[in-house]
Structure 1
Amino acid sequence: MATPRILHMLTPLKHMSPFDVNMGLDAGFDHAIPYTNVTVEDVYGLVQDAIFSRGPEGIKRTGMFIGGKRAIEALDMMDRAKKAMVPPFEISVFADPAGSFTTAAAMVACAKKALRDRFSVDLKGLRVVVFGGTGVVAFASAVIAVSDGAKATLVGYDGPERVKKLALEANARFDEALDYADGSTEEQKAVLAREADIIFSAGPAGRRLLTTDQLKDATKLKVAADVNAVPPSGIEGVGVNDNGKPIPGTNAVGIGALAVGNIKYKTEFGLFKQMIETPKPLYLDFRDAYALAQKLVG
């Protein structure tokens, strides 16, 4: 009988995401075991319990997933997991807090494809403005865009302090030049939209962040992507199924939540498959998600 494939799933939250449990099992793991209320300090011991309890074949069929809702915390957990490995006792680790790394990767990849197909340009040097900037998807999408040559601005909605802290955290962690801005008022949002080549809307579900009136003077705008699938849309004029459809009253095209979600689903599934099929351990984060998402969009 084959040694079962076991996925150990860690989260600092009260519950592990059922979405991620389903994805891991559907990708081919036989068992998905959740561990909740996990701290960064807990990770070392949990990893060593997982690696030393299985022989050479069992190690190849063991993986670890890191969830939660905070990007930096998840990456800290992954760093802690790496330090706990004792080769050849080493397993693959995949971090995707709140699905943010795969969702952000899918959104940026879809936008990049639309830029190439519709405007014959790529991300390099373009201004990306990310609304909902204190959220984990916004954070991850801004970091991914900057890493691919864009100039990105995280936009907060409750003053500059929280979004400033996140931007500085990202810059310190990834050695990037992420900017930040306050979008507390409708006028502030309109001004930021006018400066954007690309807009990402990653705010709370069911909350409209930008209207068509705010977009009508955004003459530089080429692509606007929205990950909110709950009405009303985050960006007025962008439908959930849109995938490069012109936005009324603008020169831009829109990418909706379900178009992004389709690539997000395939990306997360694909990274779980990589964990199962790899001949050597992998450490998967937003960079790997983005690499795969770009292949998936074609």
Structure 2
Amino acid sequence: MQLHSVSGKWRVGLALTLTTCFLWGILPLALNITLKVLDVYTLTGLRFLIAFIALGSYLTWKRQLPSWQRLQKVSFKLWGIATFFLAGNYLLFVSGLANTSATTAEVLIQIAPVFMGLGAMIIFKERYTRRQWCGLGILVLGFILFFNEQLKMMISSPNQYLFGSFLIFWAAVCWAIYALAQKQLLLQLPSAHIMFGIYGGSTLLFAPFSTSQTVLNLNLLELAILLFCGLNTLIAYGAFAEALEHWEASKVSAVLAITPIVTLVCVGIFSSLSPALVTPEHHTPVAILGAFLVVAGSATIALGRSPKLV
């Protein structure tokens, strides 16, 4: 079986991955606000619908909608797997977020890029150098230090966090399966066409469970945040899918590991601006040290040279 190979434009891949990091980092804050007025099925379905309409409009304007002749060459089984597991990731993550906090959710969802990286090493034969393995060790140590308080809270308050943590763990598994399927689909279609089909299929999956009437009760701020959630889906996953075109999946997954830092920085900024919407959080010097180690470990993995395969 022919496997997808990257273009080698690692700087483009890094820039696109960092874009995804920022958008995914700020997303839990917006989702937490929207979950106060919408149920998880309606919120998830609307996110996919907004992304589907926006991307479809763009492709129509550019006259780049996929032709039927090209679609006949696509593996619809693989496309269906990517759609089902991304839809599952969205639903499980939002459901887990409703039972935890933004920070806890971002800690646990980092299992996803780890699974993705390991899967890429098995399926796509990507390899880590010794320096990259050291970077992975630094990254893990950084997460242990950085999220020490959150992990203690999860252990001491199982009734509040255990169920949400369970859901987010499986959200991570679903995401890793989607990401690997998405990478292989790049052999058959451009990333925009793949995501257009995934958004449309996911919209149909959630349509029977959504309650559209609740949207009519949203105020302007809530509508704006909902729109942001949908556009965040479009731009973040578009950047992620394109990053896989140019950079190894294992390195993309390493950079994505800094997403929780983005979340915590955003929590600090927005909680100072509007504490009624975002609860402030406080961090110890040990947690700050952990943040630096996470960044250092991610950079070591991402920028390390992969060995040549013979």
TM-score > 0.5 by shorter chain:
no
Specify the TM-score bucket, using the shorter chain as the normaliser.
under 0.3
| TM-score calculated relative to the size of structure 2 | 0.23
| TM-score calculated relative to the size of structure 1 | 0.24
Pick the structure with more strand per residue: 1
Higher relative contact order (CA 8 A, sep 6+): 2
